């Protein structure tokens, strides 16, 4: 609740004045969610695993999405049940794809990368596979969406102490107070940029 109040207070300052932002923030690096997921290629499979020491399929999805501030249900079945239904022709990178494998219903999942490829936690570890391969093609159940297409490429992982992200819609100047309590212009933020907001205590 404390962090939410701080974030609201930040927006109340930025929107009316468009002149200053919290000095305890830093510009965000843009990184595609799918590129972030690929960083874990080779991490071993672990039943029930949800950390870079070892992932199962739904644990991998949960971990990747959590880094972008999105909380997924923990199991493949729950992820399938709660996601937004989309047709296979509408899939974009970042959508989730589901399969029936060792039991009836959704029992396996991955993150769609585009070009009929997806990344997932297989028995061999995190790897990229094809939706057109014989095994997955015959077991494919469907796709679900948790992130709107226009937002996927602009997401950036949360950092320690971060309480939110501001998406710049109008050009504003970033100001910072020096030791003499005087404001100094640091840089101009342009439309389309993202800006991380941090808890001042961190």
In 4-64, where do the E strands start and end? 50-51, 54-55
Q: Is 57 a catalytic residue?
A: yes
Write the DSSP symbol of residue 107: -
Q: Is 120 a catalytic residue?
A: yes
Name the catalytic one among 21, 33, 43, 57.
57
Distance CA 110, CA 24 (A): 36
Name the catalytic one among 22, 61, 120, 163.
120
Name the catalytic one among 50, 62, 106, 108.
108
CB proximity list for 179: less than 8 A, separation 6 or greater: none
Q: Is 89 a catalytic residue?
A: no
Distance CA 199, CA 197 (A): 7
**Residue numbers annotated as active site:** 57, 108, 120
């Amino acid at each position: 609740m404390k962090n939410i109040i701080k974030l609201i207070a930040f927006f109340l300052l930025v929107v009316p004045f468009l002149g200053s932002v919290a000095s305890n923030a830093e510009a965000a690096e843009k990184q595609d969610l799918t590129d972030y997921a690929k960083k874990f290629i080779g991490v071993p499979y672990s039943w029930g695993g949800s950390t870079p020491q070892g992932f199962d399929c739904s644990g991998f999805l949960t971990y990747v999405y959590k880094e972008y501030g999105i909380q997924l249900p923990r199991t493949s079945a729950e992820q399938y049940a709660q996601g937004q239904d989309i047709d296979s022709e509408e899939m974009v990178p970042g959508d989730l794809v589901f399969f029936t494998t060792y039991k009836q219903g959704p029992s396996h999942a991955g993150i769609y990368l585009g070009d009929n490829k997806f990344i997932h936690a297989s028995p061999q570890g995190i790897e990229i596979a094809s939706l057109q391969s014989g095994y997955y093609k015959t077991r494919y159940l469907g796709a679900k969406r948790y992130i709107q297409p226009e937002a996927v490429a602009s997401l950036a992982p949360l950092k320690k102490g971060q309480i939110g992200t501001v998406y710049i819609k109008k050009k504003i100047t970033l100001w910072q107070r020096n030791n003499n309590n005087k404001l100094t212009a640091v840089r101009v933020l342009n439309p389309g940029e993202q800006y991380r907001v941090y808890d001042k205590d961190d």
